[in-house]
Structure 1
């Protein structure tokens, strides 16, 4: 199995171009940094950097999660094709905490805000103690290829202070990805 696995590509171009920006975001904040893509109606985590004192998270590299609950998921769902959006809204929206958005109408309004504002905030929606701020990563054609997030302790967190650093990382990754010829998930 190891030999077969060693023949697989060592990572996507997206992950490779994003890693320096993810590391910078981690160094500035010392908080959880995540890179994710959408596959169907789920989030797939491509990279994660975490520190010893950062709040524990339920995600892992290669792991999947529902689109409607996480910050990266909200960004990816807000920019997903209409058929994906409708499939998620018509399906069962799993409640992880009392703050998880499970009402389709409310979720539509939140997603409209994500598209308008260029970022998402998920407060206590996956675990009671976490807040996530996420922003979209654009591909070379202006589509959303991925999302980057910062996950911090919800208690005392000020999303307005986190949004600029997350959006700066997302813009840097977007530019680098476009220069590398990134389009789609590759």
Structure 2
């Protein structure tokens, strides 16, 4: 088959995206064989395309021939959601200062919560993700807020698919989760306790943008503090209004940049 397609009709662009996409779930350098296996792109094609991507700075090659993300791709990626991150950063820092807990901001990226900004707290809390990382919407407080307050079709589409169980406490029953999202929408916030990682709990509220859901902000604490998390709601809601006001003049599409694409949840 011309071009060595593993998938009939797959374009060169699709192959390149598949190759780069392999590194979304891997933090280590990979061999060409591993890239071929994970991406589904034939080894000969991987060898050629990786060579071009290395030459262009999108990927880099180590001394043993292994391949990892290049600095140029990393630099370009920083522009995704930059307007939102740079505008919201001082407010997330303020949220951390006032709560003394890990504070974060996330948006929906396909079926995942994509973390745009995070300020780590002083206490040791198990970390499930990082800035630029993604987690399933149903297992995080910021994700539940997004599902509760985004357009109805988003929730309907999400609940129509199997829900991944991150821990024994993750809510994976669609009907139970739907009721929980209704409750979150009614009270204006969502919570989790050990649903994404044992030892951590979280609470989050929505941030509005010209009448639409823009993003979600939240704090993460040790799970033994779960019952007391609602005491942070006045601060969370105050910070939410500040971010809403600070971003009102920027179009939502510009704020979010290249997010809300069709990604699949993966460990971050």
Both proteins in one fold, TM over 0.5: yes
Distance 1:11 1:74, change over 3 A: closer
Write 1 or 2 for the structure with the bigger share of helix.
2
Aligned match of 1:83 = 153
Alignment of 1:1-186 (within 5 A): 1=57, 2-3=71-72, 5-6=74-75, 9=79, 12-139=82-209, 141-157=210-226, 158-178=228-248, 180-184=249-253, 185-186=256-257
Larger RCO: 1 or 2 (CA < 8 Å, sep 6+): 1
| CA apart distance, 1:4 | 5.9
Quick check: which has more Rg, 1 or 2? 2
| CA apart distance, 1:11 | 5.1
Quick one: distance in 2 between partners of 1:124 and 1:4? 34
Once superposed, which parts of structure 1, at least 4 consecutive aligned residues long, lie more than 6 Å away?
none
SS class of match (2:195) = coil
Whether contact under 8 Å (2:103, 2:121) holds in the other structure is no
Quick one: distance in 2 between partners of 1:97 and 1:56? 13
TM-score by length of 2: 0.64
CA RMSD of aligned residues (A): 1.9
Where structure 2 has 5 or more consecutive residues not aligned to the other structure, the ranges are: 1-56, 58-70, 258-268
| CA apart distance, 1:53 | 2.4
Quick one: distance in 1 between partners of 2:184 and 2:244? 17
Where structure 1 has 5 or more consecutive residues not aligned to the other structure, the ranges are: none
Distance 1:123 1:6, change over 3 A: closer
Moved more, 105-114 or 66-75: 105-114
Whether contact under 8 Å (1:96, 1:127) holds in the other structure is yes
Whether contact under 8 Å (2:203, 2:230) holds in the other structure is no
| CA apart distance, 1:98 | 2.4
TM-score by length of 1: 0.90
Summarize deviations over 1:141-181 as a string: whole Å, max 9, x none.
21011100100011033122122222221121111111x32
Quick one: distance in 2 between partners of 1:43 and 1:176? 22
